[in-house]
Structure 1
Amino acid sequence: MRSIVITGVSTGIGHATAKVLLARGFRVFGSVRRQVDAERLQAEFGANFVPLLFDVTDEAAVLAAAAQVRAALNGETLAGLVNNAGVAVPGALLDLSVDEFRAQIEINVMGPVIVTQAFAPLLGADPALTGAPGRIVMMSSVSGQFGNPLLSPYSTSKFALEGLAESLRREFMLFGIEVLVIAPGAVRTPIWDKAEAIDMVRFDASPFLPALTKLREMLMKLAKNGLPPERIAELVYRALTASRPKLRVVASPQPVQTFVAGWLPKRWLDRMIGRQLGLASRKRAGF
């Protein structure tokens, strides 16, 4: 039985991916941060699901989980690692603390760095293991190539994650380990459900308040009308099993708009987004 490690399986894309892979005959090691979630998922998924208790930013806990997985593999390689865990920090740069921005980077960028370092030996970097090399799937976003205003911490983290994935894809050629990127658009997951809980009071004095209010409304719609997480889970399965997987796959509920946005001149997009959120200004820098 081939084994997969997935980070952040308590809800959303991680939960759906664990469910899909288990149904396809894989053993899934899934990370959660709370014991109550570990027990809930163990009861839901059954014997082929093994909960791993760690926060992706806790290097010691991640290394302990990697040792646990190594022991369970009994000398064989890990078939795949899905770096899925992540958060989204909303707000304009000028309204956020450095600590808030840093927390976003710690979870969405340093988390995958820590997890990948810990599990890469099991994917085939350790020559003592037997079996085919595994694959790494990085869960990015359309925001990994498209900077969203008022979500700069999130966009920054996803741009960085894609740079990391591209560099590792070339480094890990040495071991035969593929590094693949999945970039969803809006998905019906709790990461966007939290938009409703954004504390707007703290932004009362901000010049970005009207734009942030509009963004909050947009995010709430995305949470309701986005792709089902099972759609992304199927893409993860394909990335892990296809004989020649695509290096980067985009999945959006609005594929035409996403495609067009990727080709429009940046200045056009700036003006369109500025009008949509009320960020356009008559002031222009120049001499």
Structure 2
Amino acid sequence: MKSVVVTGASTGIGETTAKYLAAQGFKVYGSVRKSEDGARLRQEIGENFEPLIFDVTDEAAIKVAAAKVRAELNGQTLAGLVNNAGIAVSGPFLETSLDKWRKQFEANVIGLVAVTQAFAPLLGADLSLKGEPGRIVMISSVAGKRGNPFAGPYSASKHAVEGLSESLRREMLLFGIDVIVIGPGPVKTPIWGKGAAPDFSKMDGSAYRKPIEAAYHFMQELGKNGLPPEDVAKLIHHALTGSSVKTRYTITPGKFMRAIINALPVRMSDRIIAKRLKIERLRPLISLWRAKPAHEAKLISPPRNMRRDA
């Protein structure tokens, strides 16, 4: 029986993936932060599931979990590592505290690195183990390719995941360990229906009031109409087992519309997003026209050697 490790297995994509892989005959080691979540999943999934109790920001606990898996593999390699655990910090870039930025990166980037360093030897970086090298699946996001307003910390962390995954994939050629990135769009999970809406009245007088309220409702709409998590789980299974796999997959609802959006010039996309989220310019536009009579006015152009990015 092949074995895989799935982080963040208590909810959402991680939970669905753990259940799907176990149903396909894998022994799944799923990381959870609470022992009661581990007990629940063991009862729901059965003997093909073994909980690992650790937070991805707890390096010592990660090492203990890796040692446990090593002992149970009995000299064989691990078939896969699915780096799924993470959090999402949102808010205006200028008003999000540095502590929140650090928390975002500790969970989504440093934690992912710690888990990968701990389990990569079991995937085949330890040449004393027997068996085929395993694969690493990194769960990124569409936000790893595009930054959205009021999601700066999350988007930055996922851009980091994209970059480190490319570096790691090329390094792991040494051991035959493949690294595959999956960037899902909004996924339909229970989180979208939980809790009351924020009290936006507390932001009365803030320049961010209207756009943040619009962004909240927009994200709720996307989430409720998002992908079934089972679709992502099936793609993860393919990434772990397929005979010919890509280095990166994007999986989103509304593929046709997203293709159109991706084809638009960046500045046009900016304007569309601004209109959708009610981001209205507060300062008057400064004129780019020289102080000359109207009939002699010329628009200031950039030097010819400046590259036009968008």
Per the shorter chain, which TM-score range? over 0.9
Check whether the contact 1:145–1:159 (CA below 8 A) recurs between aligned residues: yes
1:110 is aligned to 2:110: yes
* Alignment-derived partner of residue 57 in structure 1: 57
SS at match of 2:60: helix
Pairs within 5 Å for 1:181-192: 181-190=181-190, 192=192
Q: Distance in 2 between matches of 1:24 and 1:236?
A: 12
SS at match of 1:171: helix
**5+ long unaligned stretches in structure 2:** 289-310
Q: Distance in 2 between matches of 1:268 and 1:115?
A: 39
1:161 is aligned to 2:161: yes
Check whether the contact 2:188–2:228 (CA below 8 A) recurs between aligned residues: yes
Q: Which has the higher contact order (CA 8 A, sep 6+)?
A: 1
User: CA 1:225/1:74 → structure 2, altered by over 3 Å: closer, same or farther?
Assistant: same
Pairs within 5 Å for 1:85-104: 85-104=85-104
Check whether the contact 2:184–2:232 (CA below 8 A) recurs between aligned residues: yes
**5+ long unaligned stretches in structure 1:** none
TM-score normalised over the length of structure 1: 0.95
Q: Which amino acid in the other structure matches residue 5 of structure 1?
A: V
Q: Distance in 1 between matches of 2:192 and 2:88?
A: 8
Q: CA deviation at 1:157?
A: 0.7
Per-residue CA deviation, residues 47-76 of structure 1 (Å, 9 max, x unaligned), is 110000000011000011000000010000
Check whether the contact 1:79–1:133 (CA below 8 A) recurs between aligned residues: yes
Q: Which amino acid in the other structure matches residue 41 of structure 2?
A: L
Per-residue CA deviation, residues 188-219 of structure 1 (Å, 9 max, x unaligned), is 12555568554646544531111110111111
Q: Distance in 2 between matches of 1:129 and 1:107?
A: 29
Q: Distance in 1 between matches of 2:112 and 2:135?
A: 14
Larger deviation, residues 197-206 vs 11-20: 197-206
Report how many aligned residue pairs link the two structures: 287
Q: CA deviation at 1:81?
A: 0.2
Q: Distance in 2 between matches of 1:219 and 1:260?
A: 20
Pairs within 5 Å for 1:138-157: 138-157=138-157
SS at match of 2:109: helix
* Alignment-derived partner of residue 124 in structure 2: 124
User: CA 1:277/1:11 → structure 2, altered by over 3 Å: closer, same or farther?
Assistant: same
Q: Distance in 2 between matches of 1:13 and 1:180?
A: 16
Q: Distance in 1 between matches of 2:195 and 2:154?
A: 13
Q: Distance in 2 between matches of 1:84 and 1:250?
A: 15
Whichever structure has more helix as a proportion of its residues is 1
RMSD: 1.7
* Alignment-derived partner of residue 69 in structure 2: 69
* Alignment-derived partner of residue 171 in structure 1: 171
Q: Which amino acid in the other structure matches residue 118 of structure 1?
A: A
Check whether the contact 1:85–1:108 (CA below 8 A) recurs between aligned residues: yes
Q: Distance in 2 between matches of 1:248 and 1:139?
A: 10
* Alignment-derived partner of residue 297 in structure 2: none
SS at match of 2:75: coil
Check whether the contact 1:77–1:134 (CA below 8 A) recurs between aligned residues: yes
Q: Distance in 2 between matches of 1:129 and 1:197?
A: 51
* Alignment-derived partner of residue 6 in structure 2: 6
Pairs within 5 Å for 1:254-269: 254-269=254-269
Per-residue CA deviation, residues 148-184 of structure 1 (Å, 9 max, x unaligned), is 1111111111111000111101011100000001111
Aligned-pair identity in percent equals 55
Q: Which amino acid in the other structure matches residue 265 of structure 2?
A: P
Pairs within 5 Å for 1:221-240: 221-240=221-240
SS at match of 1:85: coil
Q: Distance in 2 between matches of 1:195 and 1:101?
A: 24
